[in-house]
Amino acid sequence: MKKKLRTLLVWILVSLIFQLGGYSLLNNQIQKVLEPTATEGVLPITPHLKATIPGSGLSNIQVSYAKDYLAYSENGALKIFNLKKGTVVFEKKSPSATDQTLGVLTYQWLPDRNILLYFYAKKNPNAVTTVKVYPPKTTIPTPSIEPKTEDPNEAKIVPKEVPVEPKLEKRYGSPQITQLYSLELPSSDEDTAPDDRLNPFDPPSGSEEISAGGKIEKFVVSPSTNLIYLTVKNSSTQQLMKIDVMKKVTTLNKPRELIDNMATSERYGTIYIDSKIGSIQQIVAVDNDKRQVISKNNNDRILGIRNGKVYIGEIQSNELIKLKTTADPQLIKDNPELKTEWEGSIPFNKNTRMIVGVMGQLIIYDNQTAKIITDGHLAEANLQGDENYISVDGAELIQLTKEGTSTLVELQPLKQ
């Protein structure tokens, strides 16, 4: 009996060990999904690749997530080039050869898949409509004789409706309609055509709301929440707009607020903005209607967000003099603690491009040099092309060199 009881206890103990081990493994896998480490977030890297693109006036160069497609603008058209096969696989031309406000306005690759989002503007065929407007009906008293009265010679006043003709009035809408498209690219080894999809706004007037604003300046995406944020500016005002998963457009900015830069949380969809209202300059986190002040320092600017960390730069006299960070929590509080990661001096102006890489490195570069801050240490990389770009993950260097009427594109890892 004791032997059977001992055997039973051993099997119970073994079972518990296996269950605890299984639960621990499952928990670790869930943690990796919810909070991936920087190493796991590294995007694909191309060791070395060369391709020749027909054309020399290329602009707004962007490489795809898998580093096998290149998006660029040429002569007012958006083009997608397959770097492995050396062919243009997609082209979206402007509906007008003269109106530069129409066609593809801006575009951006998603950071975790080969999908390009882009905004496309066309003339509104119903910008001016004519409607019939009926004024209220009027009545006038008119004398009439009703035979069945006590005095047949007495006239009785009976109201009578007077018909009125409707008036034609013109109604004016936006002169153009802006639409959101998602372009999904197959594997670069396949011959399948890209899937170009229109994502209609809800309600459709949302597109006119964007169009009425003017020029799209900034455009950021939060893939985990499917939220899109953009700033739209006309001659006198600027608007911060959010497009949710249902393609509903809402406006988030305050009156007279100017937004110089913005970045969105990878995890929660919170938008961090450089907000200026009058003489007050702050970094503000916006979550729907809720706002929290992240920094009241007039010199602080939002640089980016990566792996649950918000990157803030202190800028003075067009120089980055300090790099600060703070956590990107789900519940944001006013004036969180800012940790200084680095101090020094790096040129920082409107022509400077900037990326926060998946390894947490801050990359600030122009057309000749890249300055890279990693774990508080500054390194430098020389760039060799006529034009140079760095992928959004900070891992890949894209060098463009003009060769007559063509452009040589060379991809290689960014040496850090």
What is the largest distance, in Å, between two alpha-carbon atoms of the chain? 127
Does pTM top 0.75 for this prediction? yes
Rounded Cα distance, 283 and 154, in Å: 84
What per-residue string of b and e applies to 344-361 under the rule 16 or more CB within 10 Å gives b? eebebeeeeebbbbbbbb
The tens-digit pLDDT sequence of the chain (416 residues) is 555 566 666 566 656 555 555 444 434 433 333 333 333 444 567 778 999 999 988 999 999 999 999 999 999 999 999 999 999 999 999 998 888 889 999 999 998 889 999 999 998 887 777 777 877 766 666 655 555 555 555 556 666 666 777 887 777 777 888 999 999 999 999 989 999 999 998 777 777 778 776 789 999 998 888 899 999 988 778 999 999 988 899 999 999 999 999 999 988 999 999 999 999 999 999 998 899 999 999 999 999 999 999 999 999 999 999 999 999 999 889 999 999 999 999 999 988 999 999 999 999 999 899 999 999 999 999 998 899 999 999 999 999 999 999 999 999 999 86
Quick one: pLDDT at residue 42? 47
Q: Which pLDDT score is estimated for 257?
A: 94
Q: For the domain bounded by 213-349, which CATH number is listed?
A: 2.120.10.30
- Determine the pLDDT at residue 40: 41
DSSP string, 86-133: TEEEEEE--S-SS-TTSEEEEEEE-TTSSEEEEEEEEE-TTSEEEEEE
**Euclidean distance between CA atoms 130 and 336, whole angstroms:** 55
The pLDDT, as a whole number, for residue 224 is 84
- List, in order, residues 6 or more apart from 100 with CB less than 8 Å away: 76, 94
Q: How far apart are CA 339 and CA 314, in angstroms?
A: 12
Q: In the prediction, which pLDDT does 58 show? A: 94
User: Of 398, 399, 397, nearest to 386 (Cα)?
Assistant: 399
Per-residue pLDDT at 234: 81
- State the pLDDT at residue 373: 97
pLDDT at residue number 32: 37
